[in-house]
Amino acid sequence: QVQLQESGPGLVKPSETLSLTCTVSGGSLSSYYWTWIRQPPGKGLEWIGCIYYSGTTDYNPSLKSRVTISVDTSKNQFSLELSSVTAADTAVYYCARQRGNIGWFDPWGQGTLVTVSS
């Protein structure tokens, strides 16, 4: 079965760029959309954006100016970059498989906490 695992720094300084990678095991990236979602501590879920295995992307307009999602099919990975971070970007970041270009999320990675602080 497909499993996802997020990796990357747990601490990022304000104004810098947050970079995370999601490694997919047990299956190929092909024919699916792959997504990033975040959850500030004690709060709800926010969809960040997604990428098709071919490289087509869609982003949440609220974050679009700061977000880049990319894919590396040779490594079975996709990545998130969020620039100019502030404390408001502190959250658990999840990667997930998205069913369809406007779909639901299953399965999810376990999530990784990223704290923005100097």
Partner 1 sequence: EIVLTQSPATLSLSAGERATLSCRASQSVSSNLVWYQQKFGQAPRLLMYEASNRATGIPARFSGSGSGTDFTLTISSLEPEDFAVYYCQQRTNWPLTFGGGTKIEIK
Interface with partner 1 by CB under 8 A: which residues? Answer: 44-47, 58, 60-62, 94, 99-100, 102-111
- Smallest gap from Cβ 16 to partner 1, in A, equals 25
8/107 with CB nearer partner 1: 107
Distance (Å, whole) CA 16 – CA 78: 20
Q: How far is the CB of 14 from partner 1 (least distance, A)?
A: 25
Q: How far apart are CA 33 and CA 71, in angstroms?
A: 10
- List the end-to-end C-alpha distance of the chain, in Å, as a whole number: 39
Shortest Å, Cβ 45 to partner 1: 4
| Rg (the chain; Cα; Å) | 13
